[in-house]
């Protein structure tokens, strides 16, 4: 174990020197005053102001979503107990898949235990030696890992560069091609041109895979970027999604044709060899899906808060909930994040290697239920701290 131990020590020293040390820290939940304080400007609110989590629509604490999770636990127990292809498929999974299909306008859905597993499943099941994967350079790490496992030829495309995409599709030698993008990219918060990307894929007999982790519950009145682009149900467009962001639960899904679903059930290793999603998050996500359809005003409230964050912090408005502030070095990002935490404000701290362009950022995430007055107080404090710590 000497060589391995030496590697751990060396890697820890490198992280410390670069200011990229990460840690798991207990974060107080709703109504929990432990941990970070409320802050001097927070007024009568309990606990910290959350500008960091992915619960965009506040559905993880919605009474109807929690009731659905509790009822599913009482009925089915705490776990699925087996793979979905053995005895782990329950009626709650079928209900969730129907709810997701209705929300996104897709013909069929297959639920995985996480968004990461869903992305692994789709690319490894469809890829292979005679497949070309064309990946936007800003795609999520789960898709990068999936591509590496797929045994496909991989080409990384400059971010949102449709001209390069056209040339690569037109001149490929592989029989099959899969283009992989995100409807909303997590770091910059910009959107993909799904309409034109899908048109290129249709022209050149390619499949477009769209990761809607940040799009479902946000774009298209909550129905996602693919739906908003008029591409729901298109045979050459596949959606992957997580259930842990706007839906306030946990799990992941691939949405597309019934034939695709059947193929994944039989070939996606991250589905076949994994225990099914637990009943509680499955029921919660189904309930959340139906709430989004019935209450589009939640999505409007989310975008209002996102616009307020951008304007009060002096940054360009990103299309999604996450608004980013460039802060220069990782050290500054960490220092400001810690000071904000002490003041009762939780923000995201993005730094290498999590950022594709190597630029450290504070990530301020909008939530539909954020108090506007408290947000303006936080924005003023963030601006003051960044002024004291210039990049």
What positions carry a catalytic annotation?
54, 140, 182, 186, 211, 214, 245
* Nearest residue to 222 (alpha-carbon basis) of 196, 186, 246: 246
Q: What's the token pair of residue 220?
A: 């298209």
* Beta-strand relationship, 360-365 and 176-182: unpaired
Token readout for 103 is: 């929300």
Can you tell me which residue has the tokens 């939780």?
A: 346
Rounded distance between C-alpha atoms, residue 323 and residue 367, angstroms: 11
Tokens of 146: 């999936």
Planar angle of CA 301, 99, 237, nearest 5 degrees: 90
Cα 241 to chain centroid, rounded: 7
Beta pairing partners, 237: 208
Element (H, E) at 240: strand 237-242
Other Cβ atoms within 10 Å of 159 Cβ, number: 16
Residues 143, 122 contacting (CB under 8 angstroms) = no
Locate 3 and state its tokens: 């060589």
Q: What is the secondary structure of 71-97 as a DSSP string?
A: HHHHHH-S---SBTTTT---HHHHHHH
Q: How far apart are CA 94 and CA 232, in angstroms?
A: 20
């Amino acid at each position: 174990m000497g060589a391995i131990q030496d590697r751990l020590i060396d890697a820890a020293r490198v992280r410390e020197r670069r200011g990229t040390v990460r840690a798991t820290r207990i974060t107080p939940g709703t109504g929990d005053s432990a941990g970070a304080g409320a802050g001097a400007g927070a007024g009568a609110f309990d606990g910290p102001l959350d500008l960091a989590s992915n619960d965009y629509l506040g559905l993880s604490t919605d009474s109807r979503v929690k009731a659905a999770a509790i009822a599913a636990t009482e009925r089915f127990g705490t776990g699925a107990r087996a793979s979905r292809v053995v005895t782990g498929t329950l009626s709650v999974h079928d209900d969730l898949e129907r709810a997701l299909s209705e929300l996104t306008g897709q013909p069929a859905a297959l639920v995985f235990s996480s968004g990461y597993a869903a992305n692994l499943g789709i690319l490894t099941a469809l890829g292979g030696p005679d497949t070309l994967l064309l990946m936007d350079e800003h795609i999520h790490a789960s898709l990068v890992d999936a591509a590496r496992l797929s045994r496909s030829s991989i080409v990384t495309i400059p971010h949102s560069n449709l001209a390069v995409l056209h040339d690569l599709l037109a001149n490929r030698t592989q029989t099959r091609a899969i283009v992989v993008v995100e409807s909303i990219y997590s770091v910059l918060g910009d959107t993909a041109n799904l309409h034109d990307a899908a048109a290129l894929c249709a022209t050149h007999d390619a499949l477009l895979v769209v990761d809607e982790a940040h799009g479902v519950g946000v774009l298209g009145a909550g129905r996602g970027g693919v739906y908003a682009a008029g591409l729901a149900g298109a045979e050459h467009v596949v959606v992957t999604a997580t259930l842990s962001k706007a839906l306030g639960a946990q799990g992941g899904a691939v949405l597309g044709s019934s034939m695709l679903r059947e193929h994944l059930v039989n070939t996606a290793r991250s589905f076949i060899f994994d225990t099914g999603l637990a009943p509680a998050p499955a029921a919660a996500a189904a309930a959340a899906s139906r709430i989004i359809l019935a209450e589009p005003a939640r999505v409007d409230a989310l975008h209002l808060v996102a616009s307020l964050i951008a304007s009060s912090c002096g940054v360009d408005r990103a299309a999604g909930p996450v608004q980013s502030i460039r802060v220069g070095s990782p050290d500054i990002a960490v220092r400001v994040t810690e000071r904000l935490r002490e003041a009762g404000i939780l923000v995201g701290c993005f730094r290498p290697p999590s950022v594709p362009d190597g630029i450290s950022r504070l990530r301020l995430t909008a939530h539909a239920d954020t108090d506007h007055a408290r947000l303006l107080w936080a924005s003023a404090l963030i601006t003051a701290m960044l002024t004291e710590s210039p990049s």
